[in-house]
C-alpha cells in the first residue's frame, strides 16, 4: 500500500488560525459572590478533625469494610454477567 505524503499548511494559515482562536477564547469572570457561596457550601473541616478521623480505628474499619463490600458487589455482578453472556458465545 503506497504511503500518502502529508503536506503541512503554510505557516501563515496556522498563524491566522491561532490568532482567530486567541480572539475567540477569552476569560470569563464568575458572578460576584460566587466563590464565597461556593466556600460556604463546601465547608471543609479543620485539619485537626481530619487527623482525628484518620487516627480513629472505628473510621478505619468502616472505610476498609466499605471498600471491601463495594469490591465484592462489583465482582459478583461481573461474574453474573460473565455467566449470563459469556457462555452463549462459547456454545
Q: pLDDT tens digit string along 6-40? A: 565 566 677 888 888 887 877 788 888 888 888 88
pTM assigned to the model? 0.40
More confident residue, 3 or 86: 86
Residue 72: per-residue pLDDT = 97
Q: What is the mean pLDDT of the chain?
A: 81
> Quick one: cell of 46?
479543620
Q: How far is the CA of 51 from the CAs of 9, 29, 41, 57, 63, in angstroms?
A: 57, 36, 22, 12, 15
Place 50 in a pLDDT band, splitting at 50, 70 and 90: confident
Q: Where are the domains of the chain?
A: 32-90
pLDDT at 73 over 80: yes
Task: For the chain, report the end-to-end CA distance as a whole number of angstroms.
Answer: 39
- What SS3 state is found at 42? helix
Amino acid at each position: 500500500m503506497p504511503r500518502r505524503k502529508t503536506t503541512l499548511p503554510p505557516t501563515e494559515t496556522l498563524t491566522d488560525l491561532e490568532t482567530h482562536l486567541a480572539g475567540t477564547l477569552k476569560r470569563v469572570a464568575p458572578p460576584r459572590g460566587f466563590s464565597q457561596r461556593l466556600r460556604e457550601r463546601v465547608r471543609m473541616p479543620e485539619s485537626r478533625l481530619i487527623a482525628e478521623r484518620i487516627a480513629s480505628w472505628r473510621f478505619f474499619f468502616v472505610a476498609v469494610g466499605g471498600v471491601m463490600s463495594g469490591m465484592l458487589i462489583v465482582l459478583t455482578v461481573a461474574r453474573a454477567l460473565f455467566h449470563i453472556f459469556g457462555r452463549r458465545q462459547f456454545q
